[in-house]
């Protein structure tokens, strides 16, 4: 009997994982929670990756749709109503069993549950709520849960679901209202932003509680995230980045994800993309996103209305440095942390190491290598004890020529799906690979 049942479950899983794969936000970060006696699971702040799929992206959560049936017809989406694809729906029990059994075997950190819109937003949101409730309360699951808020659903349902989840997200998908009107006529900017605002307020209200009420769960403790599709419309990199910056600032997003558009539907309003998904553009956006979140850059320092797209041959940090040669070189032994971070080839970790190490003695170029600095890039922007590594002073063009040679190879690699090699998040080729942060798989950025 179970074989029949299991085959069915297997087929459902095949369909509903496949339908969820274009959502790129598969991180399990942001919550730190100890295990509870008798329950299954905990949560680790940095998140944990458990595997890497054939596309090199990390697998951290059981990422599935509850159902791929949908009443809407968004043009870019494989699950849109007008598509002739196999449809399936889980039951809440099935989702719970899969989550718990996968978790016990250390396959996953938890559940990522999204869904097409079945009947109505309220009905769908209610199904997601029921599933989470069962998983937390009946199955005693204490691991990570990321759930979608369905735009248009009753705010009370969203609130109750958020009390059971670690992270919630609503995807913006397209950066401009025009883009949405054209490709997702049933969605609108305001309909998407409303639940985002609600989640933001819910999180803020939770933080005001001085003493967490015993027995009460906090609302979306790992914060919210969102995703934008790159290259489905004509929007520029600057538009995407400016929107991301606004989302971080005005909606306190934990993460904005970028998803290179994959043309799954033959639709005259969609770009043809003969070269495949715009992976290099996506990569540059992630790099710029890192620069905004960890390196203190603003969107308008990296791009402007007149220069709205990223340089394909240089990463955004090198590009910025070359446009600002007057700020360099800086002295390693005296520069502050913020200044060090702006140097190409110095990352968050190497900047911290430099600050810690120079308390002991003055640093010279060979020492920097031990701190994990990529001298190939950094050498043009630094002095050690007043000396530059290369005795001749080079202008921006000469430095650019040197940097482009190296970067071009990497850029070529990315478009040819062959890259990501020396690109862990904060580190570089010299040190052993850093404990792979879970989003290094999809979200990469070099030691910039």
214 in Cβ contact with 157 (< 8 Å): no
Place of tokens 């862990």: 424
Is 107 a binding residue for another protein by CB under 8 A? The answer is yes
If contact means CB under 5 to 8 A according to the sort of partner, which of another protein, ligand SF4, none does residue 152 touch? none
Tell me which of 48, 64, 77, 108 binds ligand SF4, using CB under 6 A. Answer: 77
Q: In the window 79-118, what residues touch ligand SF4 (CB under 6 A)?
A: 79-80, 116-117
Residue closer to another protein (CB basis): 149 or 260: 260
If contact means CB under 5 to 8 A according to the sort of partner, which of ligand SF4, another protein, none does residue 51 touch? another protein
Tell me which of 8, 10, 138, 409 binds another protein, using CB under 8 A. Answer: 10
If contact means CB under 5 to 8 A according to the sort of partner, which of another protein, ligand SF4, none does residue 117 touch? ligand SF4
Q: In the window 420-439, what residues touch another protein (CB under 8 A)?
A: 420-421, 431-436
Span of 48-56, 66-74, 307-315, 335-343 interacting with ligand SF4 by CB under 6 A: 66-74
Is 400 a binding residue for ligand SF4 by CB under 6 A? The answer is no
Span of 79-87, 170-178, 311-319, 352-360 interacting with another protein by CB under 8 A: 352-360
Q: How far is the CB of 152 from ligand SF4 (least distance, A)?
A: 10
Residue closer to another protein (CB basis): 69 or 239: 69
Tell me which of 268, 326, 334, 361 binds another protein, using CB under 8 A. Answer: 361
Span of 8-16, 145-153, 181-189, 341-349 interacting with another protein by CB under 8 A: 8-16
Is 127 a binding residue for ligand SF4 by CB under 6 A? The answer is no
Distance between CA atoms of residues 4 and 340, nearest Å: 61
Residue closer to another protein (CB basis): 105 or 214: 105
Distance between CA atoms of residues 355 and 172, nearest Å: 39
If contact means CB under 5 to 8 A according to the sort of partner, which of another protein, ligand SF4, none does residue 80 touch? ligand SF4
141 in Cβ contact with 132 (< 8 Å): no
Tell me which of 52, 72, 107, 139 binds ligand SF4, using CB under 6 A. Answer: 72
Distance between CA atoms of residues 298 and 342, nearest Å: 12
Tell me which of 105, 213, 214, 393 binds another protein, using CB under 8 A. Answer: 105
Q: In the window 208-267, what residues touch another protein (CB under 8 A)?
A: 260, 262
If contact means CB under 5 to 8 A according to the sort of partner, which of another protein, ligand SF4, none does residue 116 touch? ligand SF4
Span of 32-40, 76-84, 102-110, 357-365 interacting with ligand SF4 by CB under 6 A: 76-84
Span of 36-44, 68-76, 118-126, 334-342 interacting with ligand SF4 by CB under 6 A: 68-76
Q: How far is the CB of 116 from ligand SF4 (least distance, A)?
A: 4
71 in Cβ contact with 180 (< 8 Å): no
With b meaning 16 or more CB within 10 Å and e meaning fewer, what string describes 342-361?
bbbbbbbbbbbbbeeebeee
CA 14 to chain centre: 24
Tokens standing for residue 148: 């979608």
Tally of residues, the chain: 448
Is 148 a binding residue for ligand SF4 by CB under 6 A? The answer is no
Place of tokens 């590594």: 389
Is 42 a binding residue for another protein by CB under 8 A? The answer is yes
Q: What does the longest C-alpha to C-alpha distance in the chain come to? A: 78
Is 55 a binding residue for another protein by CB under 8 A? The answer is yes
Tokens standing for residue 193: 């932003």
Q: CB 250: neighbour CB atoms within 10 A?
A: 12
Q: Residue 302 — φ and ψ, nearest 5°?
A: -90, -40
Q: How far is the CB of 358 from ligand SF4 (least distance, A)?
A: 51
Q: Residue 167 — φ and ψ, nearest 5°?
A: -130, 145
Q: For binding to ligand SF4 (CB under 6 A), which residues are involved?
A: 70, 72-74, 77, 79-80, 116-117
């Amino acid at each position: 009997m179970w074989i029949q049942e299991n085959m069915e479950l297997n087929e459902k899983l095949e369909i509903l994982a496949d339908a969820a794969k274009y959502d790129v936000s598969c991180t399990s970060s942001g919550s730190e929670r100890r295990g509870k006696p008798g329950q299954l699971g905990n949560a680790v702040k940095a998140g944990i990756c458990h595997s890497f799929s054939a596309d090199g992206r990390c697998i951290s959560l059981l990422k599935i749709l509850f159902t791929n049936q949908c009443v809407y017809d968004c043009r870019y989406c494989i699950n849109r109503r007008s598509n002739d694809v196999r449809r399936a729906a889980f039951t809440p029990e099935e989702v719970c069993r899969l989550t718990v059994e996968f978790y016990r075997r250390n396959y996953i950190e938890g559940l990522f549950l999204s869904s097409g819109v079945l009947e109505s937003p309220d009905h769908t949101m209610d199904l997601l709520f029921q599933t989470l409730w069962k998983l937390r309360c009946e199955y005693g699951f204490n691991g990570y849960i990321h759930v979608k808020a369905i735009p248009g659903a009753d705010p009370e349902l969203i609130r109750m679901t958020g009390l059971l989840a670690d992270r919630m997200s609503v995807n913006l998908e397209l950066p401009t209202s025009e883009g949405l009107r054209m490709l997702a006529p049933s969605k609108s900017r305001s309909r998407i932003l409303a639940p985002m605002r609600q989640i933001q307020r819910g999180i803020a209200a939770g933080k005001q509680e001085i003493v967490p009420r015993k027995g009460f769960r906090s609302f979306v403790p790992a914060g919210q995230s969102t995703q934008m599709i790159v290259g489905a419309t004509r929007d520029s990199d600057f538009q995407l980045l400016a929107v991301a910056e606004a989302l971080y600032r005005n909606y306190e997003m934990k993460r904005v994800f970028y998803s290179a558009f994959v043309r799954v539907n033959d639709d005259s309003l969609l770009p043809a993309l003969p070269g495949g998904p715009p992976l290099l553009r996506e990569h540059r956006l992630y790099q710029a996103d890192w620069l905004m979140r960890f390196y203190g850059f603003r969107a308008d320092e990296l791009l402007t209305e007149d220069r709205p797209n990223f340089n394909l041959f240089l990463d955004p940090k090198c590009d910025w440095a070359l446009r600002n040669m007057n700020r360099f070189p800086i002295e390693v032994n005296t520069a502050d942390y913020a200044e060090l971070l702006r140097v190409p080839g110095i990352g968050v970790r190497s900047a911290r190491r430099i600050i810690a190490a120079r308390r002991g003695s003055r640093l010279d170029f060979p020492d920097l290598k031990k701190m994990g600095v990529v001298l190939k890039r950094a050498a043009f922007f630094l002095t050690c004890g007043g000396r530059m590594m290369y005795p001749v002073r080079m202008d921006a063009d000469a430095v650019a020529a040197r940097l482009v040679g190296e970067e071009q190879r990497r850029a070529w690699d990315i478009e040819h799906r062959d890259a990501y090699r020396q690109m862990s998040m904060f580190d570089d080729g010299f040190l052993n690979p850093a404990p792979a942060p879970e989003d290094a798989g999809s979200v990469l950025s070099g030691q910039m």
